[in-house]
A and B are shown apart, each in its own frame.
Chain A
Amino acid sequence: GQSLEQPSEVTAVEGAIVQINCTYQTSGFYGLSWYQQHDGGAPTFLSYNGLDGLEETGRFSSFLSRSDSYGYLLLQELQMKDSASYFCAARRRNNKFYFGSGTKLNVKP
């Protein structure tokens, strides 16, 4: 089967750094993605890790460790607009993507 675990909710203040962890158990694992979803909207792509290590895209970075079946999303210089739900998604070799239950990020002034 497939399972991805991530915290249900995280709260941080503007300008801070927050890390959202994701552990996975996925047969045929190929890579880990991160998506952002604002209330009422569709998810949008943030980052993808196909190899171990850190990927940086502006204020967002994502990390993957295949040996630990673990990844995280790092958000720096938090802004109010970053308040949203964040999902990790495991990609299998057959190109199916399985999503975690999501982490609701609350950014406070």
Chain B
Amino acid sequence: SQTIHQWPATLVQPVGSPLSLECTVEGTSNPNLYWYRQAAGRGLQLLFYSVGIGQISSEVPQNLSASRPQDRQFILSSKKLLLSDSGFYLCAWIDISSSSGNTIYFGEGSWLTVV
């Protein structure tokens, strides 16, 4: 069966510090991968989308970046965090080639507080 893991689960970072969130998917190959951010009590904002290794689509201009160094690994980074980067970050995937290709599967999420 397929699983998705992301880490760390929670982190508190000072303004101006770097960030790295990692996500891996197991049990599938060539998934479409997503990074979303959710502010407290709000909806999910699509940040990045990837259809393959090294292929990243950025949705919103910001001080965040994403990379996909391996087929099932997706990394969200920042060189210098802002207070407005605080939120709940969710990695997600779909397998468009399968019968469940309409379903987004989310990781457990990472709570980021920038202080």
Given contacts A33-B104, A50-B102, contact A95 B42 (CB under 8 A): no
**B-contacting 9-mer, from A40-48, A64-72, A73-81:** A40-48
* Contact with A42, one of B42, B46, B57, B90 (Cβ below 8 angstroms): B90
- In the complex, what residues of A have CB within 8 A of residue B108's CB? 42
Say what secondary structure dominates the interface of chain A: strand
The answer to whether A33 touches B102 (Cβ under 8 A) is yes
* Contact with A102, one of B42, B59, B90 (Cβ below 8 angstroms): B42
In the complex, A99 has a CB within 8 A of chain B: yes
Count of A-B residue pairs with CB < 8 Å: 50
CA of A81 to CA of B107 in the docked complex: distance in angstroms? 21
The answer to whether A42 touches B107 (Cβ under 8 A) is yes
- In the complex, what residues of A have CB within 8 A of residue B46's CB? 96-99
> Which A residues contact B (CB, under 8 angstroms)?
31, 33, 35, 41-45, 48, 50, 87, 89, 91, 95-102
What would 13 more interface pairs be, CB under 8 Å, given A31-B102, A95-B51, A95-B94? A33-B103, A33-B104, A42-B106, A43-B44, A43-B90, A45-B104, A87-B43, A96-B59, A97-B34, A98-B46, A100-B43, A101-B42, A101-B43
